[in-house]
Each structure stands twice: as C-alpha cells, then as structure tokens.
Amino acid sequence: MAVEQLSRLDGPRLALLDWVMPELDGPGVCREVRKLREKQERPYVFMVLLTSKESKEDIVTGLESGSDDYLTKPFNVEELKARLRTGERILHLEDRLVEAREQMRFKATHDALTSIWNRSVIMDLLGRELSRSRREANCTVVLLGDVDHFKSINDTHGHPVGDEVLREIASRLLSCIRSYDFVGRYGGEEFLLILNNCKPQFADARAEEIRKAVSSPIQTTSGSLQVTMSFGLLLSEDWGVLPVEELLHEVDAALYSAKAAGRDCVRLAKPDLSGRNISVAVRETANRAR
C-alpha cells in the first residue's frame, strides 16, 4: 500500500517510513518507489526511515535502499521536525530545477514570439511524419503559408503591431488543426503546417478552412487590420520518396505561385510529366510576383 501511494503522480512527496512493516519493510518500499519513479519520470519523493536499528551496517543498508535520511528510536521530536524541514527544502529546490529545465526545453523547441514550434523542430517533425506516412501508406499534407504584404504592416504600424499580428495568426493556425497535427514558424512571416494522415480528397477543403480562419480582421493596438495569407499545398503521396528539403522546395514554389495568382489563395504543388518538379516558368513568374 505504501509503494502504491508513493508512486502515484499526485502522491505524497515527503514520507516517514517505519523500517519494520508487514509484507514489505521500509528499505523494500524505498527500493520499489525509486525503481517505479525512475521508469515513469515522476516527481522526487523524500523518504526518511525510522527504526530502532542502530548499527552502521543497518544505516548503510537503509541509505543504499534509496532512503534520504535515517532516524533511530527513541527519537527527539524537534530533531524529526528539523529533518523533515530539510526534506521540504530539498523538494523545493528540486521543483525549481525541474521548472528551470522545462523552461530551457521550451525555449529550445518553441519560437520565442509565437510560442509554437520553431523551425528546427517543425522540420524534424516533418521528416518523421513523412517517413511514417510512407511506412503506413498514408498521406501527409504540407502547407506553407506566408502573410501577404507583411512588410507594409511593419512599415505602416510598426514592428510591435507586426508582432501582434504574427502571434494572432499563430493562435488561429493552432485552433484550425487537430491535436496530432503540427504548426511551426518556418521563418519571418512564414508558417509551416503538417496535417497527418489526411485524406487527399479533403486537403483542398482543409487548406481553405485554414486560409479563411486567418483572413478575418485582427484586432491590434493600432486598430483592426485586415490580414491575408497565401499558401502552398503539397500531398506527400504525389511525390514518392524525396528528401524533406526537396519537398519544401516544391511547396515553396507552390506558395510563390499563389502570390503570383493575386495572393490570399492556395496553390497545389504537382509534379510535371517527368514526375519531379514544377515548371521553371511558373517558379520564375511567382518569384517575381512575391
């Protein structure tokens, strides 16, 4: 029962254990709790053994079992309180270290402005999802979006307002995808979305829903701004086994094509007759338009 309670996610963090207990003694409880907590990466539990055993061998056995402290009977109440307060300080320090670690992990994987995945993580996720979709014969939909005329927003209203726009767009993109899809900031005002296991016949409709969700006015400190995005769309099943970099090159070319078509629209990346690339003419025209 002690092992069960101390191994729960919301279980006690500070435990005073008698050495002699039925079925499993105090050191046995310590060993089991340490093993289970290590496997499940649960918060640390500070455990104090209370016993009448006084030999050095018993003390070593108790501490090696995973207990943090050892107190012999008969004990002094004030000494016990002091040892438990020491445990509280250690647990507080551990919590602060865990919090700092999680903050560092978040900063290393998320975009500082929008709090969505950063470029390196979204690229890694794309590679993994493409590999998975090939193994399972599914389709991964890739959307690369760019905010239309974003430079004019910064020039007219200032960069802080531009930052507000990017944060709101990131929030809207997140609200449009499923829990197992991904969205990240690809760079500047570009966002990369990965729609996993998406049926190809629904890809256009999904992309249009996302485009429309972004296109409604955004409230900023400079007032309401009408912002739109252009998107390149790619279906993994159309391109066979290509490196991530090449697929991103193709969806980027489709994005250029959307810009050339007047912006605020979606264009699909399709292989040409050779089965590889969008035509050079389309890419060059779109590049000039952007």
Q: Map out the domains of the chain with their CATH numbers.
A: 2-109 (3.40.50.2300), 119-289 (3.30.70.270)
Helix or strand run (H / E) with residue 128: helix 119-136
Distance CA 7, CA 91 (A): 16
pLDDT at 274: 54
Average pLDDT over residues 22-44: 84
Nearby residues of 48 by Cβ (< 8 Å), 6 or more positions away: 15, 16, 17, 67, 68, 69, 70, 71, 83, 84, 87
Q: What is the pLDDT of residues 210-261, one digit of tens each?
A: 999 999 899 999 999 999 999 999 999 998 888 899 999 999 999 999 999 9
On the question of pLDDT at 56 being above 90, the answer is no
Q: What is the pLDDT of residues 97-148, one digit of tens each?
A: 989 999 999 999 999 999 999 999 999 999 999 999 999 999 999 999 999 9
Count the neighbouring beta carbons within 10 Å of the beta carbon of residue 165.
20
What radius of gyration do the chain's Cα atoms show? 29
On the question of pLDDT at 286 being above 70, the answer is no
Better pLDDT: 7 or 204: 204
In terms of phi and psi (left: phi > 0; alpha: psi -120 to 50; beta: otherwise), the region of 149 is left
On the question of pLDDT at 93 being above 90, the answer is yes
Give the type of residue at 234.
L
Least reliable range by pLDDT among 55-69, 186-200, 240-254: 55-69
Average pLDDT over residues 67-81: 89
Distance CA 190, CA 172 (A): 14
Question: Is 189 marked active-site?
Answer: yes
Taking all residues of the chain, what is their mean pLDDT, rounded to a whole number? 89
On the question of pLDDT at 290 being above 60, the answer is no
Nearest CA among 191, 209, 176, 218 for reference residue 113: 191
Nearest CA among 94, 106, 115 for reference residue 174: 115
pLDDT at 40: 74
pLDDT at 71: 87
Least reliable range by pLDDT among 51-65, 111-125, 150-164, 185-199: 51-65
Q: Which of 32, 129, 164, 189 is catalytic?
A: 189
